[in-house]
């Protein structure tokens, strides 16, 4: 059935891909964004479509729309950019959730929150299962993002329990792919940009910390499976790829796959940088029938190809906080 679907943060890396999928499926899609960490060029190819609409708006302010589904992705996701104005980051997660949950309540819409593996902080449980309550430093430099997302989860559950709002939430683990902002400052975009320019690859710390990288298409597929599951399973569900790599291994793969002459350089590790991260995805497999299909080598190859095709001068760094 054709639905009216709002995607907040819809011009971003994941949001623009989600909008594309929803428009192609024939839905009536409203993409809402303040373009803090994205730009219109991510969705210009959709602008001519009769079932696509683009709104410049900030989710910290209320807005009245009539919709059937809401995907709430609005929030800067890269550490450098979300730490640039940490108070705004918390407002985005918390006030954004309140405004959109209010909309969902008024319209009777289903609403999905793009939560994050950061709710587990620097985890003491490995791999991370949804029942683990996390280890977040509430006064650290990542707290504006981590605690903002944790409060958003709390608001989702409270609107569900108190007002019967139809919610879903997923915890997204590190995701990469084409259309990442080249000056986003996250590890995959930094390493590929640096490798293609034969510039030094900036490893923070010794590069022994781990992440588990999920390709964009797999992630969006998992998010849509969660939104459209008609069982009583509302989440949280970890969505990510459980194959774990050290950051040094990632750098070596990027150099090999891009044929780069870059060398590795080591810079100080930012505080509270999680040591190990890997999702347990048994719940998503079991309840959603979902699992990732694109492994790192293939995903990186596609992403490197996309980075080769873009003109960096057409991108404005969102803040000075990228390498």
Residues 133-172, mask of contacts with ligand NAD (x by CB under 6 A): ---------------------------------------x
Nearer to ligand UDP, 159 or 191 (CB): 191
Pick the piece of the chain touching ligand NAD (CB under 6 A) from 72-80, 127-135, 255-263, 294-302: 72-80
> Interaction with ligand NAD in 211-250: which residues (CB under 6 A)?
none
- Least CB distance from residue 262 to ligand NAD, whole Å? 23
Give the binding-site size for ligand NAD (rule: CB under 6 A): 28
**Eight-class DSSP state of 171:** E
How many H-runs (helices) and E-runs (strands) does the chain carry?
9, 13
CB of 1 to ligand NAD, least distance (A): 26
Q: Does 74 bind ligand NAD (CB under 6 A)?
A: yes
The least distance separating ligand NAD from the CB of residue 259, rounded to whole angstroms, comes to 26
3-state DSSP assignment of residue 301: helix
User: Which member of 273, 282, 287, 302 binds ligand UDP (CB under 6 A)?
Assistant: 273
Residue 203 binds to ligand UDP (criterion: CB under 6 A) = yes
> Of 48-56, 94-102, 156-164, 200-208, which part binds ligand UDP (CB under 6 A)?
200-208
Helix axis angle, 247-258 relative to 296-309, nearest 10°? Answer: 60
Angle between the N-to-C axes of helices 13-24 and 216-227, in degrees from 0 to 180, rounded to the nearest 10 = 60
For the chain, helix, strand, coil in percent to 5 are 40, 20, 40
Does 59 participate in binding ligand NAD (rule CB under 6 A)? yes
Q: What angle do CA 168, 221, 302 make, to 5 degrees?
A: 140
Q: Which does 76 bind (CB under 5 to 8 A by kind): ligand NAD, ligand UDP, none?
A: ligand NAD
Buried b (16+ CB within 10 A) or exposed e, 244-283: bbbbbebbbbbbebbebebeeeeeebeebebebbbbbbeb
Residue 105 CA to its chain's centroid (Å) = 24
Any contact of residue 174 with ligand UDP (CB under 6 A)? yes
Q: Which residues are catalytic?
A: 145
Q: What is the DSSP string of 98-165?
A: HHHHHHHHHHT-EEEEEEEGGGGBS-SSSSBPTT---B--TTSTTHHHHHHHHHHHHHHHHHHHHH--
Among 204, 245, 306, 315, binds ligand UDP (CB under 6 A): 204
Beta pairing partners, 171: 115, 238
Which residues are at the interface with ligand UDP (CB under 6 A)? 78-79, 174, 186-187, 190, 202-204, 209, 211, 247, 270, 273, 323
Which residues are at the interface with ligand NAD (CB under 6 A)? 8-9, 11-15, 33-38, 58-60, 73-77, 92, 114, 116, 172, 174-175, 181
């Amino acid at each position: 059935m054709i639905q009216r679907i709002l995607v907040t943060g819809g011009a971003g890396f994941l949001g623009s891909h989600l909008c594309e999928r929803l428009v192609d499926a024939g839905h009536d899609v409203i993409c809402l964004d303040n373009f803090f960490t994205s730009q219109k060029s991510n969705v210009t190819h959709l602008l001519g479509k009769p079932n696509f609409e683009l709104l410049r708006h900030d989710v910290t302010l209320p807005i009245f729309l009539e919709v059937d589904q809401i995907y709430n992705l609005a929030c800067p996701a890269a550490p450098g950019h979300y730490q640039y104005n940490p108070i705004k980051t918390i407002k985005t997660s918390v006030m954004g959730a309140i405004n959109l949950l209010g909309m969902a309540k008024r319209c009777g819409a289903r609403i999905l929150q793009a939560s994050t593996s950061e709710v587990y902080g620097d985890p003491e449980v490995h791999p991370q299962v949804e029942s683990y309550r996390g280890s977040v430093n509430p006064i650290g430099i990542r707290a504006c993002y981590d605690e903002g997302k944790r409060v958003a989860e709390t608001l989702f559950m409270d609107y569900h329990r108190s007002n019967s709002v139809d919610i879903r939430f997923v915890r997204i683990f590190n995701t990469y792919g084409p259309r990442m902002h080249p000056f986003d400052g996250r590890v995959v975009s930094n390493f590929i940009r640096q490798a293609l320019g034969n510039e030094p690859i900036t490893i923070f710390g010794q590069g022994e910390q781990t992440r588990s990288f999920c390709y964009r298409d797999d992630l969006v597929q998992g998010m849509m499976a969660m939104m459209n599951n008609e069982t009583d399973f509302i989440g949280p569900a970890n969505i990510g790829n459980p194959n774990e790599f050290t950051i040094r291994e990632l750098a070596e793969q990027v150099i090999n796959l891009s044929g780069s002459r870059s060398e590795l350089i080591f810079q100080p590790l930012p505080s509270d940088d999680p040591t190990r991260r890997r999702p347990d995805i048994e719940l998503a497999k079991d309840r959603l029938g979902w699992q990732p299909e694109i492994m790192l080598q293939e995903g990186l190859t596609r992403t490197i190809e996309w980075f080769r095709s873009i003109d960096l001068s057409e991108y404005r760094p969102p803040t000075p906080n990228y390498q």
